Structure 1
Amino acid sequence: MSLFRGPRTRLAALQMRIEPGQREENLARAAKLLSTAREREADLACLPATFATGLNFPTLRGDATAEDGPVVEFLAEQARTLGLHIAAGVLLSEGRDIYDAAVLIGPGGDPLGWYHRACVWEGEAEYVSTGSPREVIDTPVGRIGLLVSYDLRFPEASRHYLVQDADLLVCVANLFGPFSHPLRSICRARAADTECALVFAGGVGENRFANMTYTGRSMIVDGLVQDVKQDPEADVLAEAGPDAHETVIHADIHLRQRRKTRAGLPFHDDVRALWTTTHGGRDR
């Protein structure tokens, strides 16, 4: 703990290879990466979207799990054993709907909140149901807003988190490599838009149905950095780089210091006064 900055929160992005439909193998991979995050004293560990199964249209319903299914049970047990907050992407079944979802699990093993991907592209709309904005999740490691994959492309998907005083955006993702060139810029923009830190946890591997590879490129970005005269990269706190391999990256933030910095900037108050969202109703 720093006397002036307050206690440290260590964030970890777990870049994981996802084998389509191989649940047990994927869970074993995730367990190893989570153990590494714990060894590095992470407070919050973030796994990619659909980390246990991948997202493959021909096997979608067989791969999906319920909120109390085996994938969530695995996450709960890992959180309890390791004493971690865990954010992860889950292919979620709810009645006839299948959601590309994210869940945040507390260190006691209880789900603290769910989010269903709100931005679904036209080609998958027949398979994946569209979610809607959710409330920020208040936790001991900060006020957290969840996003999934394609949401990152749309400022509207995270705009409501700004007026909910989010400290951190977590985007669990599986994004195709051929469309990933702007990813670094987009992550930096979303963090700045929301005046918070952003953890982007990307998967690696192949989607054989689409015949494309996933990009990885996990990173942790600080959207509150204002002056970069000395270091233009100061807002990129950690980055996996372009190589598509499994890795764990981490970075520290100090919530007390960050909240004080944000309170001294005009954007947060101005957006409350001037901006009405078209994505989640009128700002509060």
Structure 2
Amino acid sequence: MSLFRGQGLTLAAVQTQIDPGRREENQARAAELLASAAGQGTDLACLPACFATGVNFPSIRKDATGLDGPVMDFLADQAQRHGMHIAAGVLLSEGRDIYDAAVLVGPAGDLLGLYRRASLWAGERDYLAAGEPLDAITTPLGRIGLQVSYDLRFPEASRRFLGQGVDVIVCVANLFADFSHHVRSLARARAADNATALVFSSCTGENRFVGMPYVGRSCIVDGLTEGVTADDADVLAEVPAGSREGVVTATLYPRQRRKAGAALPFRGDTAATWRTSYIWEGP
């Protein structure tokens, strides 16, 4: 706790290797990395999309879990064990629909928020249902926005967060390496778009159905960085390219950042210029 900066918020981007359909093995790897994140004083640890199962279209219904299923039980147990918030991707079953979803679990093991991915590419629509944009989630850590994978490609998918004063955007991901050359730039752009921090937690491994590896490249970036000359000063931490697994952390000070953000004309200018119900949800 700093007299001038307020309480610190330590974020962790957790990168795991996913073996499709091997839930127990994937969860065991995630548990080890979450323990490492907790040992670094993490307040919010972020796991990749579908971290426990992967997305294998031929077995998607067998792999998907409900909100009362074993993947959610695992996340609740880990959050309670380490006394921290966890954001993670879950292949979610709801009735006849399957969603590529993100959940936010509190340190008491309670579900604080759920987002079903809205941005689907054409090849997924025979297997996955599309969700709707979600408002930022108010937590003791601040206001947190959830995104999943392909959402990162679309500024519109996170634009509502600017008007809602989000403190952190978490994008859980399992993006194909062949189409993800610009992923680092996209993470930086989405953070800058919304004048906030962004955690990009990605996986490695391979989607065997389409024969493509996942990109990794997990990172934490800061869209409020100002007054610096280094080209990548906004990249606070990142898992090195080519790494299979890892944990990187960064500490922010939300109270100080809110003051800095309020002093900028960006939010007001955006409201005046782009006043639509989809893009702008502020006053």
TM-score (norm 1): 0.97
Give 2:136's aligned residue. 136
Measured against aligned partners, the alpha-carbon deviations of 1:130-150 in whole angstroms (never above 9, x if no partner) come to 011111111111100000000
1:256 is aligned to 2:255:
yes
Give 1:192's aligned residue. 192
Give 1:43's aligned residue. 43
Report the alpha carbon displacement of residue 234 of structure 1 after superposing the two structures with TM. Answer: 1.2
| In structure 2, C-alpha distance between the alignment counterparts of 1:162 and 1:173, rounded to whole Å | 21
| In structure 1, C-alpha distance between the alignment counterparts of 2:156 and 2:140, rounded to whole Å | 26
Give 2:103's aligned residue. 103
Give 1:32's aligned residue. 32
Q: Is the 8 A contact 1:275 1:283 kept in 2?
A: no
Q: Is the 8 A contact 1:89 1:102 kept in 2?
A: yes
> Unaligned stretches of 5+ in structure 1?
none
Larger mean CA deviation between 149-158 and 267-276 belongs to 267-276
Give 1:265's aligned residue. 264
Report the alpha carbon displacement of residue 279 of structure 1 after superposing the two structures with TM. Answer: 4.2
Give 1:66's aligned residue. 66
1:98-247 equivalences under 5 Å are 98-229=98-229, 231-247=230-246
| In structure 2, C-alpha distance between the alignment counterparts of 1:281 and 1:68, rounded to whole Å | 34
| In structure 2, C-alpha distance between the alignment counterparts of 1:71 and 1:277, rounded to whole Å | 37
| In structure 2, C-alpha distance between the alignment counterparts of 1:191 and 1:228, rounded to whole Å | 16
The amino acid across from 1:104 in the alignment is L
Report the alpha carbon displacement of residue 283 of structure 1 after superposing the two structures with TM. Answer: 5.5
| In structure 1, C-alpha distance between the alignment counterparts of 2:281 and 2:89, rounded to whole Å | 28
Q: Is the 8 A contact 2:163 2:281 kept in 1?
A: no
User: CA 1:135/1:81 → structure 2, altered by over 3 Å: closer, same or farther?
Assistant: same
Residue identity (%): 60
| In structure 1, C-alpha distance between the alignment counterparts of 2:282 and 2:264, rounded to whole Å | 19
The amino acid across from 1:135 in the alignment is D
Provide the aligned length of Structure 1 versus Structure 2. Answer: 283
| In structure 2, C-alpha distance between the alignment counterparts of 1:193 and 1:127, rounded to whole Å | 31
SS at match of 1:215: coil
Give 2:93's aligned residue. 93
TM-score (norm 2): 0.97
| In structure 2, C-alpha distance between the alignment counterparts of 1:238 and 1:102, rounded to whole Å | 22
User: CA 1:73/1:36 → structure 2, altered by over 3 Å: closer, same or farther?
Assistant: same
| In structure 2, C-alpha distance between the alignment counterparts of 1:127 and 1:55, rounded to whole Å | 10
Measured against aligned partners, the alpha-carbon deviations of 1:215-247 in whole angstroms (never above 9, x if no partner) come to 100000000012332x22211000112113100
| In structure 2, C-alpha distance between the alignment counterparts of 1:210 and 1:276, rounded to whole Å | 41
The amino acid across from 2:269 in the alignment is D
Q: Is the 8 A contact 1:13 1:249 kept in 2?
A: yes
| In structure 2, C-alpha distance between the alignment counterparts of 1:237 and 1:256, rounded to whole Å | 18
> Unaligned stretches of 5+ in structure 2?
none
Q: How large is the Cα RMSD of the aligned pairs? A: 1.2
| In structure 2, C-alpha distance between the alignment counterparts of 1:172 and 1:19, rounded to whole Å | 17
Q: Is the 8 A contact 1:160 1:277 kept in 2?
A: no
Q: Is the 8 A contact 1:215 1:244 kept in 2?
A: no
